[in-house]
Structure 1
Amino acid sequence: MARFPSGVVVVTTRCPDGSPRGFTASSFCSVSLAPPMILVCLANSADSAASFARCDHFAVSVLSPLHRPLAVRFATKGADKFEGGGLRLSPRGLPTVEQALSELDCVIHARHPAGDHMVLIGRVTGVRLGEGSPMVYYDRSFRTLS
């Protein structure tokens, strides 16, 4: 699967105590247009897996090449993902990536176990569009389109 190019997103939520959680994903896609739904996959071993197993809402930020350091930070197990800037709050109060190509507000529609991952399906409740070119993950590294 490393030979399948995909976009890169950061997905965030908040714990019941208000603390933010998030992860970088390349397993992200559109599921439905009516109603608008997306899916994203999260490893069961991820630091934030328990939070996403219980949350009601999450946000997805689609990344551009300028977000590479942030993508690495959110992909690093044990890292303090919310220190170091590059984030802002969505209208729902969830952290999102500044200057993202797009931001999606989602409410949980379903969760499905899938091997060593959890598939989150979200109903999109809000969209904000940015500008730029996408970052692509291919053959285990971040790349840009030429």
Structure 2
Amino acid sequence: MSELKPVTGDVAELRRVFSCFPSGIAAVCTLTDDGPAGLAASSFTTVSIDPPLVSVCIQNTSTTWPVLRGHPRIGISVLAQDHESLGRQLASKHGDRFAGVAWEATSQGAVHVHGSTAWLDCSLHAEVPAGDHLIALLEIHRMSADPAAAPLIFHASTFRRLHVVS
């Protein structure tokens, strides 16, 4: 193990350390009057069975979250390994984040990406301030999954694929 270093404001080193934890990528999306709006979240996690809750962490500077949080339903799509370009599009600050993306919306406006490994239809349950982010707790109302679809993984600041060991 390398020598443990104190956290002294070295943001690059802290990000490098955080990047060692692999995570999936979730598309967090809703339907607005102007079409779909969404963002990519690598901080998606399950929270509770009763009530059914998941969370995503959102930067306080996000201009997309204020749009999403104002709608009755928010769709979560756990991206599949073939969604690497979509992961980059949704993380981009410029351009049409949904160009060339196959998606559909529920009657209440949750947007789901085709080909994902799981889909959740959620509403905002609570927000918790957390440093330079906020933790959005989302209550699940409906769900579906395709466990056979391999997930997209984010590790060491790059997209990766799972390798199945038999």
Query: Do these two structures clear the TM 0.5 threshold for a shared fold by scoring above it?
Result: yes
Unaligned runs of 5+ in 1: none
Q: Which aligned pairs between 1:58-77 and structure 2 lie closer than 5 A? A: 58-77=74-93
Contact 1:70 1:86 in 2 (8 A): no
The normalised TM-score by structure 1 is 0.90
> What fraction of aligned residue pairs are identical, expressed as a percent?
32
Offset at 1:18? 5.6
Number of matched pairs: 145
CA distance in 2, matches of 1:85, 1:122: 24
- Residue 85 of structure 1 pairs with residue 95 of structure 2: no
Contact 1:46 1:77 in 2 (8 A): no
Offset at 1:2? 0.7
The normalised TM-score by structure 2 is 0.80
Larger-Rg structure:
2
Task: Give the aligned residue type for 2:39.
Answer: F
CA distance in 1, matches of 2:151, 2:106: 21
* Matched residue, 1:3: 20
Contact 1:14 1:51 in 2 (8 A): no
Contact 2:19 2:155 in 1 (8 A): yes
CA distance in 2, matches of 1:61, 1:53: 16
CA distance in 2, matches of 1:108, 1:120: 7
* Matched residue, 1:141: 158
CA distance in 1, matches of 2:101, 2:46: 28
Q: Which has the higher strand share?
A: 1
By relative contact order (CA 8 Å, sep 6+), the higher-ranking structure is: 1
Q: Secondary structure at the match of 2:87?
A: helix
Contact 1:43 1:118 in 2 (8 A): yes
Q: Which aligned pairs between 1:1-146 and structure 2 lie closer than 5 A? A: 1-15=18-32, 17=33, 19-130=35-146, 131-146=148-163
Contact 1:40 1:120 in 2 (8 A): yes
